Chain A
């Protein structure tokens, strides 16, 4: 048994050396390369089937002896209505209804180890008792894998592609293949995860969550009809024609997933950013978006190179999905993202840019920093939304990066903040909730927007320089690994130099709201002393009892209306132009500031630099002594003119 194992290791080492000596991209592997795939697949567009063969090599990263391998078979979520995906889904309306059978499924067969022994398998349901769910398959190994040893298995697989369901499928002759192949789960070691127990982390496919994958290399040979254009994760190595079919061979290293697309109608555009090959694959009618996608990608790469780290891969393909394949849009996969825009929207709506920046940001947050999207979606979607806001506001304007149409615009960050604050119930779940625990209607906004807003608040509290240090440290420490929430929090504590639990407990693990209000201020003249003082009776008019210049006793009153307590600054501006910046720990319900100065207060403002983005009402943050009505007059005249025109327009029907 030992000898056999040694042979296996030697063969594996030889194969790995041979493969990487020829094709290796990086001098040193960037990731642990735990799960490496070699796949040969053929697409049959007529039957909507894929037939494939996989050689998978998995290295046990733990100190455990592992007896089995757990695979995601995500397409089985679309096999019938009894899958966990459909049982818990509000997406049931998207189930196939036409006469043609457009359900999708995925099947593994002929599973063998490197000795040619057949391996048994069974479907398991790690998350619940939905026995009909077939989205996780456990393959029993003939011999357990010892710590740090490797195992190679081969298997055939058949994929029935569904008519586009969620993120994946076919529509007409457009094929978008995401989460389509038997994909290994992540074997978590004791140091990882929230449970602290080692084992397979391989959840069923829940409708409200995304994915979690293991690092590895991919060699994928995709055979499609000759007129089909193929886009895929990784770089094209070669194409081989075989009669009416063409095989496209792709290679990719140190990634957690693999996605590809094919259609005869694709228009393909190419560009470059430094050494990265950029590609936009789009459809007739969408040529006008191509440059916008390229610009957004280049801006994002520039920004990340400066603020986080350089994009390490050699290619990025942006798939601009067709109208009839809209549900495959706006998703992130290694070196391939799907983006979208619609010609019916005004140019000022920056959908192309927003999606390109967002999905590209996921190359860092979810791909390189390979977090568990199913359990902690805030770590990829929330972080990505925060970075999307930074990039969009930097390149497209803080008040126009979401949209700017006919003089009405909004910046990305402010748009995301208002979207969260306008939620019907912004307290519904904390951002720390797992993907499948989140309520359907609030999942997206809490995970994406609230996380982004509290990150922006953290940036305001610790300062931009410290926040930059946090991100760089987090990236350097955890890139090409699987960080969990506590790992990020530990980095924050480490860089800030204090336990920031008070912050995370409130904004991340808590659900309460934040609101500080500058309630009032007053300035009253301090009058001279008057009355009986011993034997003297002062009238207040005595010369030596009078101040040369009047003194004013001023008071500022600040309220904490919300439950969240954050340190906050207050700026008090006096009539003589002097300003005092006060710091308050923000804990009491009411806070007073008192002054005795020769000048009255002109205005005062809580959080003048808007560091606390979680504050749900900026309007009540300030007060001025004399109200300013000119802007009101401006809007009144505009509104008046608008109503006059509406009324005049209505008379056209008379």
Chain B
């Protein structure tokens, strides 16, 4: 499942990045200016490239945005399969069962995602208005110093981040709760999981924090591994590519770890048995 999710991610990113690469090759590969961008960023080359190809670049960007959206929907689709796999605590990953779970929960998770996007939007709007009020619109006619904007951001942004993280955490538990009870309606489960998560906030938040810490450590390791290499030769480019892919693979792994550990925590706080008998399809 881990490898499968990584390959899907790679495929979509490849489809999004491919046209840009082709354009770069067709426009620059026969010019000596290509050497200017080998060592690092070159403003003149990139801006001229943009100037000459802005139409194509924007078209490709539009296409990339569509791909990101499709990937987003795919991930909603996969969520049911992933969570049920963890929830049922299956020893072996069976692709057929996975697809069944994906399709079974897709529409519910789509609605759930929509609801939580709205919650996120409301949260963002609340903190946005709060920030706007604190910095008086950022207008230089009202503020004595722009330092107020920085101080405001230093206060507001971390608080917002905490609330947004909590909301994301609740969303994860909501998905597990829906899978757990195979609930068709969403409003009640959402309210229930709000209560359950808040009631066990120290436990759930600590686990979530631990997972965030894990991804930060992985990011740190990635940066360390990246440092000794430069991308001014083919070997360097290849090594950096591999390091990057390793990071992505781990990132996806941590996401799975998060869902897996949250499923375990859910069972723990909901007083459910940690190990359940697999009631899905039998292995063929």
A324 touches B41 (CB 8 A): no
A651 touches B40 (CB 8 A): no
Q: Which residues of A contact B144 (CB under 8 A)?
A: 172, 322-324
B232-270 at interface with A (beta carbon < 8 Å)? 233-234, 237, 240-241, 244-245, 248, 251-252, 255
CB distance from B74 to the nearest CB of A (A): 9
Partner-binding segment picked from A62-70, A81-89, A616-624: A616-624
Q: Which listed residue (B28, B72, B237) contacts A650, Cβ 8 A?
A: B72
Chain A, interface SS category:
helix
B180 contacts the other chain (CB 8 A):
no
A632 touches B25 (CB 8 A): yes
A606-642: CB near B (< 8 Å → 1, else 0) gives 0000000000011111111001111111111111111
A313-335 at interface with B (beta carbon < 8 Å)? 322-326
A645 touches B248 (CB 8 A): yes
Chain B, interface SS category:
helix
B52 contacts the other chain (CB 8 A):
yes
B127 contacts the other chain (CB 8 A):
no
A631 touches B76 (CB 8 A): no
Counting residue pairs across A and B whose Cβ atoms lie within 8 Å, the total is 187
Q: Which residues of B contact A325 (CB under 8 A)?
A: 140
B244 touches A637 (CB 8 A): yes
A538 contacts the other chain (CB 8 A):
no
B37 touches A409 (CB 8 A): no
CB-CB under 8 A for A654 and B43, given A323-B146, A628-B34, A630-B234: no
Q: Which listed residue (A627, A640, A645) contacts B25, Cβ 8 A?
A: A627
A262-289 at interface with B (beta carbon < 8 Å)? 283-286
In Å, the complex CA distance between A422 and B12 comes to: 32
Q: How many residues of B contact A (CB 8 A)?
A: 69
B143 touches A639 (CB 8 A): no
A620 touches B31 (CB 8 A): yes
Q: Which listed residue (A285, A622, A648) contacts B248, Cβ 8 A?
A: A648
List the A residue with the shortest CB-CB distance to B42.
A399
List the A residue with the shortest CB-CB distance to B241.
A637
Q: Which residues of B contact A603 (CB under 8 A)?
A: 32
A619 touches B28 (CB 8 A): yes
A605 contacts the other chain (CB 8 A):
yes
B21 touches A418 (CB 8 A): no
In Å, the complex CA distance between A377 and B251 comes to: 56
B52-96: CB near A (< 8 Å → 1, else 0) gives 100000000000100010011001100100000000000000000
B68 touches A647 (CB 8 A): yes
A343 contacts the other chain (CB 8 A):
yes
In Å, the complex CA distance between A421 and B50 comes to: 12
Q: Which residues of B contact A632 (CB under 8 A)?
A: 21, 24-25, 28-29, 34
CB distance from A629 to the nearest CB of B (A): 5
Q: Which residues of B contact A637 (CB under 8 A)?
A: 231, 237, 240-241, 244
CB-CB under 8 A for A417 and B44, given A343-B150, A619-B49, A636-B17: yes
B20 contacts the other chain (CB 8 A):
yes
B1-29: CB near A (< 8 Å → 1, else 0) gives 00000000110111011101100110111
Contact size range, A: 35 or more
CB-CB under 8 A for A654 and B76, given A605-B32, A631-B34, A647-B68: yes
CB distance from A606 to the nearest CB of B (A): 10
A77-112: CB near B (< 8 Å → 1, else 0) gives 000000000000000000000000000000000000
A117 contacts the other chain (CB 8 A):
no
Q: Which listed residue (A407, A619, A644, A652) contacts B41, Cβ 8 A?
A: A407
Q: Which listed residue (A343, A399, A638) contacts B147, Cβ 8 A?
A: A343
B25 touches A647 (CB 8 A): no
List the B residue with the shortest CB-CB distance to A418.
B47
Partner-binding segment picked from B112-120, B185-193, B197-205, B271-279: B112-120
Q: Which listed residue (B27, B51, B237) contacts A633, Cβ 8 A?
A: B237
CB distance from A324 to the nearest CB of B (A): 5
A651 touches B248 (CB 8 A): no
CB distance from A328 to the nearest CB of B (A): 11
B133 contacts the other chain (CB 8 A):
no
A646 contacts the other chain (CB 8 A):
yes
CB distance from A100 to the nearest CB of B (A): 13
In Å, the complex CA distance between A382 and B81 comes to: 64
A641 touches B21 (CB 8 A): no
A487 contacts the other chain (CB 8 A):
no
Q: Which residues of A contact B284 (CB under 8 A)?
A: none
B33 touches A643 (CB 8 A): no
B104 contacts the other chain (CB 8 A):
no
In Å, the complex CA distance between A188 and B233 comes to: 64
Binding site for A on B (CB under 8 A): 9-10, 12-14, 16-18, 20-21, 24-25, 27-35, 37-38, 40-45, 47-49, 51-52, 64, 68, 71-72, 75-76, 79, 109, 113, 116-117, 120, 140-147, 149-150, 168, 231, 233-234, 237, 240-241, 244-245, 248, 251-252, 255
Binding site for B on A (CB under 8 A): 171-172, 283-286, 322-326, 342-344, 399, 402, 407-411, 414-415, 417-418, 421-422, 603, 605, 617-624, 627-648, 650-654
24 contacts between A and B (CB under 8 A): A285-B147, A323-B146, A324-B143, A344-B146, A407-B40, A407-B41, A618-B33, A618-B45, A619-B33, A619-B48, A619-B52, A624-B31, A627-B29, A628-B34, A630-B38, A631-B28, A632-B28, A632-B29, A633-B237, A640-B13, A641-B245, A643-B68, A647-B71, A650-B75
Contacts A421-B48, A620-B31 known; list 10 others, CB within 8 Å: A323-B144, A407-B40, A619-B52, A622-B33, A624-B32, A631-B34, A636-B17, A644-B244, A645-B251, A647-B13
Shortest 3 CB-CB distances between A and B: which pairs? A410-B43, A627-B29, A636-B21
